[in-house]
Structure 1
Amino acid sequence: MSQDKISILLVEDEENLQEALKLNLELENYEVTGVYDGVEALKAIQQEHFDLMILDVMLPELDGISVCESVRLQNNDIPILILSAKNSSADRVLGLKKGADDYLTKPFNLEELLLRVNKLVQKSQRIATRQPLDLQYQFGKNLIDFKAQECVTKDGERISLTKKEMMLLKLLIENKNEVVTREKILQSVWGYNVYPTTRTIDNFILNFRKYFEEDSRNPTFFHSVRGTGYKYTEV
């Protein structure tokens, strides 16, 4: 098989639907591995690389939400598209909160599914080509030393940073110029044991503005995106 093919893990226990989806995805030139339950999905993820996972919610052995949560706890950034017969806003929010990138309810339009798959594949390719951060990162008059867990502010002051501050800075900078959702921050920085309020994350952003912005009321680098998340902008 071509090494350039995009690989998709399709997790769907309904045999007819899996066969139909697999066929249509392969017609779009994707390489598809199909499994029928949550346990097999986790095994497959651990054994090989996939560019995307399409994940049904109602699965035998282990449900899709639990699979999604487990994948994110392993710090795996694979884009996840959830398919679900559950169409309430609460179900959708739960799926996104547990780490899904997109949520599509059944029955769905095939063309819409393929469009969403294409969008998530592009995201996967951006992740794959993302350069790891150096131990030190400079922007404006500021310097962050990830190894020493400290920063030099715009005023030349050296400040020790908490572990959470370092993790949030790293996450935002790695995704520079892109909005990082509150859910993604929860997964990456706080894990699943503690859910901070939006105000808690806002306070971190306010601290970053105090350290790094020339004018904290009109930030250049650290932005809150109402109703969505937060963004680091590189000038």
Structure 2
Amino acid sequence: MKPKLLYVEDETDLGNVTKQYLEAMNFEVVWCTTGKGAYQEYLQQPDAFSLTIIDIQLPDTNGFDLARKIVEHNKNAYFLFLTARKEKKDRLHGLDLGAVDYITKPFDIDELVLRIRNITRRLLHSTAAQDHANTIQIGDITLNKESLSLAVGGHTRTTLTQREAELLEYLYAHRNSIVKREDILIRFWGENDYFMGRSLDVFISRLRKLLRHSVSGTKIENIYGVGFILSVP
């Protein structure tokens, strides 16, 4: 998939040439000539853009204000500034706002492409690492702790409750060994009594039904009167 860029530049000739060159370099580019237009474009698809490239001197606002509004809407937004300003205070101000880079005009277009590629490559690796940190693989079972989704044996993903996901993660941490009922109840419900035990049984029953689709044989076994084992071959 091509990295998608939001490019904000009011100089028509420069904007057109830069857009065409970036597209030739395998980027998808949405070009806006005003801060208002760029912000509206961003609001329509805030998660679509890998990077926003902002000229500081725009006809209706300055790029710093635009970047600030974007960050207020999405604190994880990534942006860099393009500007004819060379004052140190402007550069520091841009970086203080969270810019990943600050390039002064006139710039070499190939250098711009290289910087954008380096940035998007780092972001891709960062996202992949975050996805990996949020994912637990148990045989043919995939648990995503962030989205609370569970995929078993290639079947359609199921959405778990927060408690179900936490319980499955806890059992996985103690896989192939007995986890006592009382330990689970104290950890997740704060006390070991009959009613809390019934709640635990409901969660375990639902998880066991979901894991029955596992072709690798992963399952939750009930050790009567003691607890449970997440058996992972």
What TM-score results when the alignment is normalised by the length of structure 2?
0.53
Q: Which residue of 2 aligns with 1:34?
A: 31
2:19 aligned to which of 9, 19, 22 = 22
Name 2:9's counterpart in structure 1: 12
- 1:22 alignment partner AA: K
In 2, Cα distance between equivalents of 1:76 and 1:17? 29
**When the two structures are aligned, how many residues end up with a matched partner?**
133
Q: Render the CA deviation track for 1:30-71: whole Å, top value 9, x for unaligned.
A: 111100111111111111111111110001222100111111
1:128, 1:41 → 2: CA distance? 24
CA distance in 1, matches of 2:44, 2:111: 30
| Map of 1:98 onto structure 2 | 97
CA distance in 1, matches of 2:44, 2:74: 15
Which digits, 9 at most, give the CA deviation of each residue in 1:208-229, with x for residues without a partner?
A: xxxxxxxxxxxxxxxxxxxxxx
Equivalent in the alignment of 1:213: none
Looking at structure 1, the residues matched to 33 and 95 of structure 2 have their Cα atoms a distance apart, in angstroms, of: 22
Equivalent AA in structure 2 for residue 106 of structure 1: K
- CA offset at residue 128 of structure 1? 3.4
Structure number with the higher helix fraction is 2
Cα shift at 1:127: 4.2
Query: C-alpha distance in 2, partners of 1:126/1:52?
Result: 14
Tell which structure's C-alpha radius of gyration is larger: 2
TM-superposed deviation, 1:91: 0.8
- Whether the aligned pair in 2 keeps the contact of 1:79 and 1:121 (CA below 8 Å) is no
Change in CA separation of 1:76 and 1:45 when aligned onto 2, cut-off 3 Å:
farther
Per the alignment, in what secondary structure is the counterpart of residue 70 of structure 1? Answer: helix
Runs of 4+ aligned residues of structure 1 deviating over 6 Å after TM superposition are none
Secondary structure of 2:102's counterpart equals: strand
Q: CA deviation at 1:6?
A: 1.3
TM-score by length of 1: 0.53
- After superposition, the CA RMSD in angstroms is 1.9
Identity of aligned residues (%): 33
In structure 2, what is the equivalent of residue 46 of structure 1?
Answer: 43
Question: In structure 2, what is the Cα distance between the partners aligned to 1:121 and 1:79?
Answer: 9
Gaps of 5+ in 1: 136-235
